[in-house]
Structure 1
Amino acid sequence: MNRFPLKIAGIAVALTMASQAFAGDQYVDPTGYAVSGYDVVAYFDLEQTPVGSAQPQAVPGDKDITSTYNGATFAFSTEENKAKFDADPAKYAPQYDGHCAYGVSKGGKVPGNPHLWRIVDDKLYLNITENVVGFWEEDIPGNIDLAENNWVSIEDDAASDRAIPQFESPAPVN
């Protein structure tokens, strides 16, 4: 009896279940959209500023151009960006289900502000306040390592229900 195919099938099922376990609840603010309705693909086309400087403003999505991923609705500014997202949503969705990267590095889930962003190693990270960005930028690689280690133990927790401080959530355009 050849058990090898059963072993492979068992591994495939385990990997599928493990990948599903790493998809926690996406943070969604009162707009009802992930990342407050901003186009997550557009971040990758914006020119990043040096560490310590404010990033360019996020690009608002269009309420008529949307996709669902990780239990949340994402809005896009163009059909082209929607198609890119649909082809590889994990590439464009913010890390830690849209929660603050520094907050996760400290072991908790708080919302990420779509205007306080940075792309590191082709991944989108959000933070909650300008002060927090300063702490995060003191050691970005170290904070990402801490966050990655913490995320496996906190990702099953419900998404944050907190509002983003000093931020009014605009609805997507159109």
Structure 2
Amino acid sequence: MPIKRFILGAIAAVALLPAVHAQDMPVFYEADGAVMAGYDPVSYFLEETPVRGLPEYSVIWKGAEWHFASAENRDLFESNPRAFSPQFGGYCAYAMAQGILKSTDPMLWDMVEGRLYLTHSPEIEQLWRGDRAEYIHMAEENWPVVLYQD
């Protein structure tokens, strides 16, 4: 019986490895000390162009720092962060469809059905816009599993 318990324990430990590892992985891509390089995620929904946030209107959510242009935007975000945060942790949506993590440029963005998507470069943005629905579907299959790949 001790061997059987050992084997079952080893199997359980291996099954839990991704969960333990997930604690150390950055779920949100941060550049320049904040998600979206400090741009206010709420501004993508309320303004015609993204607005840079300020550190004095920041909040920590999901272990990442988020900046906002105003206290009002910060409060809106805090009331429903999932509604305003970028999809796929702010990593490039097109790259996520390919199963890889890639940085993003906060000025290269797209809104699809009320959700915010960021891309890496103007060239990638053009590819992304070619078949957004398919890339979103593919990226959803890869997210968040891609965080745990070596």
Q: TM-score, normalised by structure 1?
A: 0.69
Per residue, is there more strand in 1 or in 2?
A: 2
The list of structure 1 runs, each at least 4 consecutive aligned residues, that deviate by more than 4 angstroms after superposition, is none
Which structure carries more helix by proportion? 2
Distance in 2 (CA, whole Å) between partners of 1:87 and 1:157 is: 32
Tell me the distance in 2 between the aligned counterparts of 1:46 and 1:136.
Answer: 22
Residue 148 (1) aligns with residue 120 (2): no
- Distance in 2 separating the partners of 1:98 and 1:37: 12
What is the match of residue 53 of structure 1? none
Q: CA deviation at 1:46?
A: 2.8
Q: In structure 2, what is the equivalent of residue 42 of structure 1? A: 43
- In the alignment, residue 39 of structure 1 is paired with which amino acid? D
Amino acid at match of 2:129: E
Report the secondary structure of 1:111's partner residue. Answer: coil
SS of residue paired to 2:125: helix
Paired residues of 2:88 and 2:144 also in contact (CA < 8 A) = no
Q: 2:107 aligns with which of 111, 115, 119?
A: 115
Alignment RMSD (CA, Å): 2.0
* Aligned residues of 1:96 and 1:155 also touching (Cα < 8 A): no
Give the AA of the match of 1:32.
G
Contact residue 105 and residue 119 of structure 2 kept, 8 A = yes
CA pair 103-157 structure 1, distance change in 2 beyond 3 A: same
- Show the 5 A alignment for 1:19-38: 25-29=27-31, 31-38=32-39
Question: What pairs up with 1:74-113 in 2 under 5 angstroms?
Answer: 74-113=66-105
User: Per-residue displacement from partner, 1:49-79 (whole Å, max 9, x unpaired)?
Assistant: xxxxxxxx42010110011112111000011
Structure 1 gap segments, 5+ residues each: 1-16, 48-56, 159-174
TM-score normalised to structure 2 length: 0.79
Q: Distance in 2 between matches of 1:70 and 1:34?
A: 11
User: Is residue 136 from structure 1 mapped to residue 137 from structure 2 by the alignment?
Assistant: no
Q: Deviations over 1:13-42 (max 9, x none)?
A: xxxx9xx99x9521111x211100000000
Gaps of 5+ in 2: 1-18
Identity, in percent, stands at 30
